[in-house]
């Protein structure tokens, strides 16, 4: 028979050491230990086993607890080995994140047969987020049911199977327009060419999945025929990163992760982004230029949704990484295949069709919130500055 020893009270140095000294003196075996401190309050659980006088052990532990001004409880345990269950990391994020949302998420976990083993705060700014480690439950069902709860509560939820890959080197591949950078570059080019409204209509239809991307891109690029390269340079200089983008990339790189971009936009912008941010991989469309003016044509194959997914797989292969070690981030229908191909697909302020298909969705306007979905707490992000 094993015994669970639970210690609660004001946290202070020496509590765990004093407890272990008593257990050692009685020849007890420590089978498991869990300890957490929440705002100065200690919760320490130790599972012990031994052949000695159990009454004497508990008596001495009660005396030590009294000396340290903490409470101690004892719970006999069945010695049967617990059945191993699949674990998941569930991240809940919101700005704000009200108790009602946490209640809805935890209630949904229970209805899916998942049990919460641990809860950790990841961030309080720029959004509040918590990571729940849960055992049991089916991955697909958890994602579906929790996504519905997240929509109802207007928060974000991500579900990822627990595995060694969560702590290993990973590849993160991002879309560019309206993900890594603000706005759509082709619309900025269209404004320079005087055809912004027409291009914007085609762009919206393409991103919503209503039009074939390649056909729509070529049609939009044709409208830019005759635009001087000076105008392209002005657009390049006007492009602005999404808030949190620099922090996201810097943190990932310092973790030793690989970061890439794939874009249905143009190398006229992505080349600079790759150099500025130190990105490992990049793929985008090439605008044809003759006599310092755009011809209205794209050189080579168009980077469409299939090409984006293929690029993610190619980048991973070049880095020697498995598909499970990849993360994809995007906002439009052109990103759907890439999100599906990745180990974790994240919809960032995305169209509804993308949110419905992704493994996780973010609705806050800060790209570095992706780090919380990956289980990286805010204090570690700040240490990486």
What's the pLDDT at 52?
57
User: Can you state the angle between helices 196-207 and 185-193, rounded to 10 degrees?
Assistant: 160
Q: Residue 85, SS3?
A: coil
What's the pLDDT at 385?
67
What's the pLDDT at 205?
77
Which domains does the chain show, CATH number per domain?
2-77 (3.30.70.260), 87-162 (3.30.70.260), 171-383 (3.40.50.1000)
pLDDT along the chain (385 residues), means of 10: 92 95 92 92 91 78 95 86 80 95 97 94 93 95 94 94 86 97 94 91 75 88 96 97 97 95 97 98 98 97 96 98 96 94 96 90 94 93 79
What's the pLDDT at 146?
95
* Residue 115: strand pairing partners: 135
What's the pLDDT at 80?
64
What's the pLDDT at 2?
87
Torsion of CA 192, 195, 198, 203, to 10 degrees: -30
What's the pLDDT at 201?
83
Q: How many CB atoms lie within 10 A of CB 372?
A: 27
Within 8 A by CB and 6+ apart from 76, the residues are 1, 2, 3, 4
* Measured distance CA(341)–CA(329) in Å, rounded: 11
Phi, psi at 211, each rounded to 5°? -130, 150
What's the pLDDT at 351?
86
* Residue 133: strand pairing partners: 89, 118
What's the pLDDT at 83?
61
Which residues are part of the catalytic machinery?
175, 177
Q: Residue 129, SS3?
A: strand
What's the pLDDT at 165?
83
């Amino acid at each position: 028979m094993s015994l669970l020893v639970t210690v609660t009270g004001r946290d202070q140095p020496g509590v765990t050491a004093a407890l272990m000294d008593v257990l050692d003196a009685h020849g007890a075996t420590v089978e498991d230990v869990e300890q957490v401190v929440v705002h100065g309050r200690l919760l320490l659980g130790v599972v012990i086993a031994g052949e000695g006088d159990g009454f004497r052990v508990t008596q001495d532990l009660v005396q030590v607890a009294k000396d340290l001004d903490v409470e101690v409880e004892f719970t006999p345990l069945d010695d049967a080995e617990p059945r191993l269950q699949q674990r998941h990391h569930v991240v809940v994020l919101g700005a704000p994140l009200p108790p009602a949302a946490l209640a809805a998420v935890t209630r949904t976990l229970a209805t899916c047969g998942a049990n919460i083993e641990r809860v950790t705060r990841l961030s309080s700014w720029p959004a509040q987020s918590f990571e729940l480690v849960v055992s049991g439950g089916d991955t697909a069902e958890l994602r579906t049911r929790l996504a519905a709860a997240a929509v109802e509560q207007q928060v974000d939820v991500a579900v990822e199977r627990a595995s060694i890959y969560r702590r290993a080197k990973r590849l993160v591949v991002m879309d560019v327009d309206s993900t890594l950078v603000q706005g759509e570059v082709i619309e900025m080019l269209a404004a320079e060419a005087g055809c912004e409204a027409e291009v914007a209509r085609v762009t919206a239809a393409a991103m919503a999945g209503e039009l074939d991307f390649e056909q729509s891109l070529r049609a939009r690029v044709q409208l830019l025929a005759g635009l001087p390269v000076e105008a392209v340079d002005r657009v390049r200089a006007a492009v602005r990163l999404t808030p949190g983008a620099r922090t996201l990339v810097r943190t990932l790189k310092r973790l030793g992760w690989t970061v890439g971009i794939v874009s249905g936009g143009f190398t006229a912008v992505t080349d600079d982004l790759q150099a500025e941010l130190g990105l490992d991989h990049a793929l985008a469309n090439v605008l044809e230029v003759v006599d310092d003016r755009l011809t209205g044509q794209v050189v080579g194959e168009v980077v469409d949704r299939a090409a984006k997914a293929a690029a993610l797989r190619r980048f991973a292969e070049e880095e020697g990484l498995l598909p499970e070690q990849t993360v994809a981030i995007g906002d439009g229908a052109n990103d759907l295949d890439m999100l599906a191909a990745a180990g974790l697909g994240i919809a960032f302020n995305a169209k509804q069709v993308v949110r419905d298909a992704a493994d996780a969705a973010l609705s806050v306007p800060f790209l570095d919130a992706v780090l919380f979905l990956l289980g990286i707490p805010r204090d570690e992000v700040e240490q990486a500055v």
